[in-house]
Structure 1
């Protein structure tokens, strides 16, 4: 009886007090649930903070607007964002030079030629598709017939005397002039621009006057990325042809690239704060949101619809047709760069983040990204091409003019050329848009109408430019991966090997000499 009683009590104790192993199992399940929820946040902490920075920037901007802030308050609020822009721009020049030179120096000329051919073909096709899409949408929606003219004061274009004299021929010639810079140091600070000066020359004998055109080339502020890219491409290919004699110079640029990427990682932890204040400051600069929505709402809707179609349909279809992979999974890896583009409004300033996303998150071959991305940030402007195709047709509709088929073709081709010449800086598309407007005889002063909405559209089209660069790198990486050999620049390890081997042999030789000297000295003693 006592034994049965003890067994019954033991069973009751087991039911009331579960064993320690059962408690541990419950705790392990709870910890697994927490890790499954917090794990992605912890692994993507920087991305989470960046998304939070964008939303907090919108919230902060609309909250501060209720107090009617002064211009000094707006300047102070925008200051942390200005610091972020300066830090990112500081890294652009060393990043482009080191990445291009190291990317091309480890490639044989045949591989680099194929990389360039694939990349430029992709850039041209997507840019012309974006421009054609913009023209189709603006002709179907016709936002200019639904909008009312607004006068907006702006100083983005500060009295350029030759602004009305921009022609397509001048823009094409300026592209080639900037590609072959006469001073590589000056190319880091200024770029060439052609201006036309019309002179009335009188003939005393015939008592008539003749108008002659005088062409002048002058330098304007802004980094000449085309010139830098051309020089770095030639420099990197030449190092690759020198064999062992060029190893020391290549090793220098490899180390430089690694240092710059470490600096990029440090700057990225400040980017959520900078992006928040950049967005808030831009919202505060808008004078009247309601008037802006009434006057330019359909125009903004047309541009945003075109950008959405290009980013969510055109580019993914191209990526899937070539790689047979999920393009939206690829987009997820580029989310950090996309958000940085929205905050900064500059594809060049976002270039360090784009490198980090493609190389570390999406694991693309560094030889491809180092060649494709710097060139793409300069010449691949899909969003800008679409925007510059929509705006002149919108302004023509606002003026009551109807553009014919021939003029629309001119707009699409000129918008493609102008987007290539657009600098990778905020609101640069407004300046090159004068080229498209002059091609269809629209006065340059009419561009002031769209100044008020440009800041917002500029950030969206910049983010589309960044997505286009990333998709281009993914497409080129898929096309050439079988020809490049082992990924991740394993050739650079072979570059270090001879140096390490020489160093080891020198050390061992020195030890043998020292031991021989020591033995001679002991024998003498």
Structure 2
């Protein structure tokens, strides 16, 4: 009787595990099927560029649906979450989040430098055969930090929903020299060229690029949520509105996630079909090894170690709960589009 009872309990536990993680299992299977389908279509079907785009249409629909709910999800969840917290508690949480962010960033940078100095991905015999295109933008650290601060405080909240602010430098023309011809020694010419390069003057030109200004929206939502939280009963109506909006958006996310396995299948298959030169993987082998090694060490050792030291719990159980978001981000290569899935897992 005890043996029969144990078997029944195991069967129930297994069924419960499948019921809770069916979406994760379906996503992993869709990844494997997508790879297989992409290889088969690539080998046995000659598709034109237009037909390749048609083939990946279901995956494009998935990306568009995920990006569709990003904006209402950020606004509703941030405002309701901050408004429900005490200002002192939210301040402590924000401080800890900033410390954690900078700490993990520093660890990632140090790990990356160590791996690059050890593996040396740029030193290879096949590196000279890689086609290099494009130009390096004239961007400095100061300009990047200033753009970050500018985007934290967007001048138009509606525009921040679909555009980011970005500046670029434009070199000003130096004043014209006199037309008198004089003979200048070569050494003097070289020194003058160096001095001229150092003393170049630039003009900052502001432009807008496509993409949600997530940072600006978060700053506004945090400030707005704090204000609503301090309004008491007067802010109750707004709080209930954003709470209902958050719940409705999460139900939309659940519907989208039911379509996710189909979208990921065609998304991966289309990416495999679009690859024209498989030799690029050999040429960039050391670079890929460096990147994947850094990601593996950071995700499997560094972050779980921080979690274990602070929380004193098994970090891999927590990682299993976030597996759906991790697999989705890996397959669609977009952390912003994975944001709805991340919110659901959290």
Give the TM-score of the pair, scaled to structure 1. Answer: 0.59
Two-structure CA RMSD over aligned residues (Å): 2.4
State the distance in 2 between where 1:172 and 1:260 align: 33
CA shift at 1:120, angstroms?
0.6
Q: Secondary structure at the match of 1:202?
A: coil
**Residue in 1 that maps onto 2:143:** 170
| 1:338 pairs with one of 306, 326, 335 | 326
| 1:117 pairs with one of 83, 95, 109 | 95
**Residue in 1 that maps onto 2:43:** 66
114-123 or 291-300: bigger deviation: 291-300
CA shift at 1:38, angstroms?
3.7
Distance 1:27 1:318, change over 3 A: closer
The reply on whether 1:46 has 2:23 as its aligned counterpart is yes
State the distance in 2 between where 1:188 and 1:266 align: 23
Distance 1:128 1:38, change over 3 A: same
State the distance in 2 between where 1:207 and 1:58 align: 70
Name which one, 1 or 2, has greater alpha-carbon Rg: 1
**Residue in 2 that maps onto 1:232:** 221
Q: Is the contact between residue 130 and residue 283 of structure 2 (CA under 8 Å) also seen in structure 1?
A: no
Q: How many aligned positions are there?
A: 328
Cα deviation 1:316-347 (Å, max 9, x = unaligned): 10000000100001111111111111122111
**Residue in 2 that maps onto 1:127:** 105
Q: Is the contact between residue 137 and residue 306 of structure 1 (CA under 8 Å) also seen in structure 2?
A: yes
**Residue in 2 that maps onto 1:81:** 59
Cα deviation 1:268-320 (Å, max 9, x = unaligned): 1000111111111111221122x123211111011101110000000010000
CA shift at 1:237, angstroms?
0.4
State the distance in 1 between where 2:125 and 2:240 align: 58
**Residue in 2 that maps onto 1:450:** none
Cα deviation 1:438-473 (Å, max 9, x = unaligned): xxxxxxxxxxxxxxxxxxxxxxxxxxxxxxxxxxxx
**Residue in 1 that maps onto 2:118:** 140
Q: Is the contact between residue 147 and residue 296 of structure 1 (CA under 8 Å) also seen in structure 2?
A: no
Distance 1:206 1:126, change over 3 A: farther
Distance 1:74 1:153, change over 3 A: farther
State the distance in 2 between where 1:299 and 1:222 align: 28
**Bigger relative contact order, structure 1 or 2, given CA contacts below 8 A and separation 6+?**
2
The reply on whether 1:189 has 2:162 as its aligned counterpart is yes
State the distance in 2 between where 1:231 and 1:306 align: 34
State the distance in 2 between where 1:32 and 1:309 align: 37
**Residue in 1 that maps onto 2:272:** 283
The reply on whether 1:295 has 2:283 as its aligned counterpart is yes
**Residue in 1 that maps onto 2:187:** none
Q: Is the contact between residue 169 and residue 202 of structure 2 (CA under 8 Å) also seen in structure 1?
A: yes
Distance 1:266 1:152, change over 3 A: farther
| 1:325 pairs with one of 313, 321, 324 | 313
Distance 1:248 1:28, change over 3 A: same
State the distance in 2 between where 1:71 and 1:199 align: 43
**Residue in 2 that maps onto 1:399:** none
Distance 1:285 1:207, change over 3 A: farther
Q: Secondary structure at the match of 2:275?
A: coil
Give the TM-score of the pair, scaled to structure 2. Answer: 0.88
Q: Is the contact between residue 147 and residue 294 of structure 1 (CA under 8 Å) also seen in structure 2?
A: no
The reply on whether 1:252 has 2:230 as its aligned counterpart is no
Question: Gapped runs of 5+ residues in structure 1?
Answer: 1-21, 359-525
Distance 1:112 1:34, change over 3 A: closer
Q: Secondary structure at the match of 2:173?
A: strand
State the distance in 1 between where 2:107 and 2:30 align: 33
Cα deviation 1:81-122 (Å, max 9, x = unaligned): 110000010000000000110011111211111011000100
| 1:97 pairs with one of 66, 75, 93 | 75
CA shift at 1:207, angstroms?
7.1
Question: Gapped runs of 5+ residues in structure 2?
Answer: 182-195
Q: Is the contact between residue 121 and residue 287 of structure 2 (CA under 8 Å) also seen in structure 1?
A: yes
Q: Is the contact between residue 75 and residue 217 of structure 2 (CA under 8 Å) also seen in structure 1?
A: yes
